[in-house]
Amino acid sequence: MKQITSLKEMSQHSRKIKDRGQSIGFVPTMGTLHEGHLSLIDAAKKKCDVVIISIFINPLQFSQSEDLKKYPRNLKKDKNTLKSFDPIILFTPSEKDLLPHNSSAVVDVEGLSKKLCGKSRPGHFRGVATIITKLFNIIRPDHVFLGEKDFQQQIIIKKLVKDLNYNIEVTSVKTLREYDGLAFSSRNTYFNERERKAAPILYKTLLRAKEAIEAGERDPRRLHYIMAQHVGREPIAKIDYVGLCDPSTLDDVKTIKGDILLAVAAHIGHTRLIDNMVVHAK
Ligand code: PAF
């Protein structure tokens, strides 16, 4: 496995790959790789000649009150995991190179970034969009692979690609779940036993709403109530939001028809979790 840390070397290496006529698949991550990340690498390997995975814990997407300092860091273990995917290129830029102190340009995908998680995490998606733009400019991928669990992030990056005229195809990959429905996430490593037991409440809430829609419930306010109530069944879960949205605009739906994004965010102990599911209502 080839590991590159220098921005210049990464750009030059990417150019060489392209000059050979090979396609580049890119998997951006913040490390602490789990099954969800591995499914993105699998998808990239199937579609592209060369796969580049980045590991960079992006300070721009954490607010002051958030968990940047204690965000899990496991580079040694991650490198071990990646061995089974060789050949693969691991890009691990340093913070001082990628975000020098005097850098002030930002990328903001307006509108979409203010909804759902954007309300309780102001600036988060600007941080994501800025770092992703920088990584795109350095790597120049043909394809980027993103998880559907972070549904909002994924559609924001799709919009960024379109609006900034990147010639990149965005592939979203289905959410992978643990045995009890909890979506794989690096933050799952924070849980104690009690919290881990409580965490699947998010997925169960999505399933409860899906069930209700399938049973004919067509009132968004009633569905909203059903979801909020369901999160409340878990005493240690603190709800941030539940939503029934248009999956392309993230606006609240007024009628339950066609594709609907069911979204939930809640704190389990000190850990904030999100989950999403798109359902189809006839
Ligand atoms: O999903 C993540 O891990 C991050 O938000 C990303 C896309 C790597 C940007 O830092």
Q: Using one digit for the tens of pLDDT, what is the confidence trace for 191-209?
A: 999 999 999 999 999 999 9
Residues 156 and 223 placed together within one structural domain of the fold: no
Range of the domain at 11: 2-173
Task: Give percent of the chain with pLDDT exceeding 70.
Answer: 100
Q: Are strands 258-268 and 237-245 parallel, antiparallel or unpaired?
A: antiparallel
Residues 227 and 127 placed together within one structural domain of the fold: no
Residues 158 and 200 placed together within one structural domain of the fold: no
- The count of other CB atoms within 10 Å of the CB of residue 226 is 18
Residue 179 lies in a domain: no
Residue 53 lies in a domain: yes
Question: In which band, very low, low, confident or very high, does the pLDDT at 180 lie, cut at 50, 70 and 90?
Answer: very high
Residues 88 and 118 placed together within one structural domain of the fold: yes
Residue 153 lies in a domain: yes
Look at the chain and report how many structural domains it folds into: 2
**CATH assignment at residue 96:** 3.40.50.620
Alpha carbon of residue 198 to chain centroid: 22
Residue 219 lies in a domain: yes
Q: What is the mean pLDDT of residues 101-117?
A: 97
- From ligand 1's centre to the CA of 28, what distance in Å? 6
Residues 90 and 115 placed together within one structural domain of the fold: yes
Task: Give percent of the chain with pLDDT exceeding 90.
Answer: 98
Q: For residue 175, what is the DSSP state?
A: P
Pocket perturbation via mutation, ligand 1, pick of 27, 106, 132 by most ligand atoms within 8 A of CB:
132
Q: What is the mean pLDDT of residues 146-171?
A: 98
Tell me: the pLDDT tens digits for 215-261?
Answer: 999 999 999 999 999 999 999 999 999 999 999 999 999 999 999 99
Give bridge partners of residue 259 from the DSSP assignment.
280
Residues 35 and 144 placed together within one structural domain of the fold: yes
Helix (H) or strand (E) holding 132: helix 124-139
E runs forming strands in 69-200: 89-91, 143-147, 169-173
Q: Are 260 and 253 in contact (CB under 8 A)?
A: yes
Cβ of 157 below 6 Å from ligand 1: no
